[in-house]
Amino acid sequence: MTHHKFIRAEKDVDQLAGEIIKEHYRDTLHKIKPRIDYLMCFAPQDEAGNPTGPALKLHGAPCAATINITSLIHRALGEGDVLVKIDGELWETFTPPQQLALLDHELYHLNPMFVVGSEKVKTDDLGRPMFKMREHDIQIGWFAAIAARHGIASIEVQQAVMIRQKYGQMLFDFDGAGQATLHIVNDQIPAGV
């Protein structure tokens, strides 16, 4: 039987995330101190040990990590406030700066809900912090063939032009981006995080 494997992440993942929270989420997560569970996920394998699918999926596509707000029921049963799932195999291939960027990406999705007119975070029946998910600034789902077929009439090319106009300097001219090395697993770049 092939199935996914799940292992609670080592403490160093919590520590890395703690550093990011201290540096970049001083007025939010650093103050609220949610309990965050980090789970390493590993792809199912066939008998020869080859992966039969991705470790993690988001909207049907392989991804490097995901974040979910833990439901009231699971919070009541002892889980944390938030669950971060990470592709455990991919994680091991990441450099420390890449690991930091991935964790920061996931944490950035967390949008604490504040009591109106107050700096107090809203809490659920258990007194635990409530969050909304922050959506991506850029969400990509492109077919190269459609871009080629329809050019500027396609959503693909329109989004590419928009990205270049709005974020071009940051994304494409970023110092070192030209020399960036991508981690490609199973011939696929993880489509999302």
Please identify the residue of the shown chain whose CB is closest to the bound Zn ion.
Answer: 193
Q: What is the C-alpha to C-alpha distance for residues 65 and 34, in angstroms, rounded to an integer?
A: 19
Q: Which is nearer to Zn ion, 84 or 193 (CB)?
A: 193
Q: How far is the CB of 50 from Zn ion (least distance, A)?
A: 28
Where would I find the H helices in the chain? 11-24, 29-32, 72-76, 88-93, 96-108, 144-150, 155-172
- The span of 120-128, 144-152, 170-178, 185-193 binding Zn ion (CB under 5 A) equals 185-193
Q: Which is nearer to Zn ion, 32 or 193 (CB)?
A: 193
**Residue tagged 């974040």 (tokens):** 67
Among 43, 103, 147, 193, binds Zn ion (CB under 5 A): 193
Q: How far is the CB of 189 from Zn ion (least distance, A)?
A: 14
Size of the site for Zn ion (CB under 5 A): 1
Quick one: which of 136, 169, 163 has its CA closest to 147? 163
Please give the biggest Cα pair distance in the chain.
Answer: 59
Binding site residues, Zn ion, CB under 5 A: 193
